[in-house]
């Protein structure tokens, strides 16, 4: 109904995309620019969901997209302002990702599709579980996890170390429209539900959806996409 042409890119090491050890956020932005150029896409909008958020922000900062929606965005948890707000186990992983990324990658390389499923199911509020545990959704979610790990866990491990460590992205340089979406019940992706993250991006607008959680991309896709298309249409 919205006339959206949806393209999903596998980051290196995920799905069928060739692994690229040591890759960075800037590398992904360069990949997106090259892909858009070769496909003749012109002005494009991007949705960065969960751990995809910093990769999407790198694209916005690197001129690869013309509008951006961050949805249930994984925040920059290595930011010192969150030091006292993180659970102890997460704090240890953030410190390891920051100071010894190679060891951190080895830790995250221990994850499997089943472990990821268990992690999400164990940390989600009831409003999210009502979405994730629907038979059809659960089957597709599990299939997506299996596809993501088809080449092994290294792609996920590299992604996670990048996301948990300092991003090194100049958010103040972003000049494209950015909307930041969180479900009201989401306590997983950002200690302050993106309040500080939104403030760091010039002109960004924060939306909190009542009654929704981390599954807001699926429960409220229409308003998210309508808003994004509206930003893209604005000169």
Q: Structural domain boundaries of the chain?
A: 25-233
Greatest alpha-carbon pair distance for the chain in Å reads: 47
How wide is the angle at C-alpha 177 spanned by C-alphas 171 and 178, nearest 5°? 60
Alpha helices (runs of H) in the chain, residue ranges in sequence order: 25-39, 53-61, 88-99, 101-108, 113-123, 126-132, 135-148, 154-164, 195-199, 216-219, 221-233
- Sign of the C-alpha dihedral computed for residues 159, 163, 129 and 136 taken in this order: negative
Residue 13 DSSP code: T
Quick one: fold of 25-233?
Rossmann fold (3.40.50)
pLDDT (tens place) for every residue of the chain, 235 residues total: 889 999 999 999 999 999 999 999 999 999 999 999 999 998 899 999 999 999 999 999 999 999 999 999 999 999 999 989 999 999 999 999 999 999 999 999 999 999 999 999 999 999 999 999 999 999 999 999 999 999 999 999 999 999 999 999 999 999 999 999 999 999 999 999 999 999 999 999 999 999 999 999 999 999 999 999 999 987 6
Q: Crossing angle for the helix pair 88-99 and 101-108, nearest 10 degrees?
A: 130
Measuring CA to CA, which residue among 226, 235, 127, 112 is closest to residue 179? 226
- Intra-chain end-to-end CA distance of the chain, in Å: 23
């Amino acid at each position: 109904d919205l006339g959206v042409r949806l393209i999903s890119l596998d980051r290196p090491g995920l799905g069928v995309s060739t692994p690229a050890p040591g890759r960075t956020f800037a590398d992904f932005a360069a990949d997106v620019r090259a892909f858009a150029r070769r496909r003749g896409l012109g002005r494009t909008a991007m949705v960065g969901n969960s751990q995809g958020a910093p990769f999407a922000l790198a694209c916005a900062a690197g001129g690869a997209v013309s509008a951006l929606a961050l949805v249930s965005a994984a925040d920059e948890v290595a930011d010192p302002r969150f030091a006292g707000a993180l659970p102890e186990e997460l704090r240890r992983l953030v410190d390891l990702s920051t100071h010894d990324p190679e060891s951190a990658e080895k830790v995250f390389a221990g994850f499997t599709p089943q472990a990821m499923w268990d992690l999400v199911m164990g940390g989600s509020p009831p409003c999210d579980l009502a979405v994730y545990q629907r038979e059809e959704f659960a089957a597709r979610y599990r299939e997506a996890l299996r596809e993501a790990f088809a080449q092994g866990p290294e792609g996920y491990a590299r992604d996670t170390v990048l996301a948990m460590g300092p991003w090194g992205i100049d958010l103040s340089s972003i000049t494209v429209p950015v909307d930041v979406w969180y479900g009201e019940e989401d306590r997983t992706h950002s200690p302050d539900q993106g309040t500080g993250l939104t403030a760091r991006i010039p002109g960004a607008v924060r939306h909190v959806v009542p009654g929704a959680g981390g599954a807001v991309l699926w429960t409220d896709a229409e308003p998210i996409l309508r808003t994004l298309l509206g930003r893209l249409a604005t000169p």
